[in-house]
Amino acid sequence: MKRILLLILITTSLLSSAQIIEQEFDSQILGEKRGLKMYIPPGYNQKDDKEYPLLLVLDGNYLFDPFHGIVSYSSYWEEVPDMVIVAVNYIDKKARARDYEYDEMTGLPYEFGLKYYEFLEVELLPYLEENFKLATLRMIAGHKESAGFINFFMYKENPVFNAYFCFSPELPEFTEERVPDFLSRTNKRYFYYLSYSSSDSQKTRKKAPLLDEKINEKPNPLLTYKFSKFTGTEYSTVIPAIPDALSSLYASYQPISLEEFRKSIVTMQSDYTDYLVEKYKTIYELLGMKMRIRYNDFKAIEVAIIKNGAYEEFETLSKLATEEHPKTMLGSYYMGLYYYNIGESKKALKEYQKAFTMENIGDLNKEMMMDKMDVVKGDLGY
């Protein structure tokens, strides 16, 4: 009944605006209830085919709010995609330590810590997969003890999470050997973020750089990795670490920036459309997200083609635009540019006339198509 009620809530009330849901999860493994705090992004609709990355946040009592705020702000500006955030609360500060309990000799989850590990993997994650439309990207985040704890998921050959945010981790024994070993030999894509501060415990200030050193000794092209050191208290540095981690993970997701345009696109001599295809292919491979190519990214490629006089590439760009935005005028607009710039004005006019009958997109509208038609008619002496 609990799961059905959550599905009804998501389906009926989350179609237009973001929602924060709080509920208790009755864990059979832990033998107790745990508070969950969940952020459901704007426009989430159980009936459409869009899937969302999952971000599981431990120590939700104090980590949910900064994650929620930064993700909400960043997704508005398309710096990161919309995602489902689920935070797990600890019962109280005294009981928090038992969640992350491990054997100091083996460096493995122990007693209640082992139960907590199983709760996350065997109970909570399947529950979330059943109730939400999740993409293949599964992120997990922790701070101090919980940051050390999340590394345990990499001790299995097929971890249930493929992105890890470790803020000021208190690292159990052998972490600096086990984690680099896994990351160096995996044949799947993973993301690992590690940060610490100048005010962390002596153990963290010693072990975090050592872990970084070990990871860098055996690089893996399938690993996206970022290591950062901050000045400030062990708690205040979480605030800058969150956007640092997210921007590192989602660098490929972000729209074409001015820097990317200047360094990677406008300097090319050809294959501009291929660049755009590869960019979104990378997003899918890295993040498991199928995305329609953004209009503004099409416009960036358009500018590069014009600057370099590679007008023949408008033909392939037109085909891609028609595939991505079939009801809009974008494909016909580019085909019109192609014909006009190779001297086929009559064919260009037909394409602009066709575009006029289709839906607007971005700053392309019927008035602009009329202007294009007038220019071509003038050239033809109509």
Cα four-point dihedral sign 262, 266, 271, 273: positive
Q: Measured in whole angstroms, how far is the alpha carbon of residue 124 from the centre of its chain?
A: 21
List Cβ neighbours of 259 (8 Å cut-off, separation of 6 or more).
Answer: none
The total number of residues shown for the chain amounts to: 382
d(CA 150, CA 336): 54
d(CA 351, CA 308): 23
CA distances from 147 to 41, 59, 65, 70, 99 (A): 25, 10, 17, 19, 12
Neighbours of 129 (CB within 10 A): 13
d(CA 140, CA 128): 13
Residue 145 tokens read as 């003890």
d(CA 193, CA 112): 26
d(CA 57, CA 140): 6
Residue 259 tokens read as 């820097």
The per-residue pLDDT string of the chain (382 residues; one tens digit each, 9 = 90 and over) reads 344 345 434 444 444 467 999 999 999 999 999 999 999 999 898 888 889 999 999 999 999 999 999 999 999 998 999 999 999 999 998 889 999 999 999 999 999 999 999 999 999 999 999 999 999 999 999 999 999 999 999 998 899 999 999 999 999 999 999 999 999 999 999 999 999 999 999 999 999 999 999 999 999 999 999 999 999 888 889 999 999 999 999 988 999 999 999 999 999 989 999 999 999 998 888 888 888 999 999 999 999 999 999 999 999 999 999 999 999 999 999 999 999 999 999 999 999 999 999 999 999 999 999 999 999 999 888 8
Residue 363 tokens read as 């700053």
Per residue in 13-53, pLDDT (tens digit) is 444 467 999 999 999 999 999 999 999 999 898 888 889 99
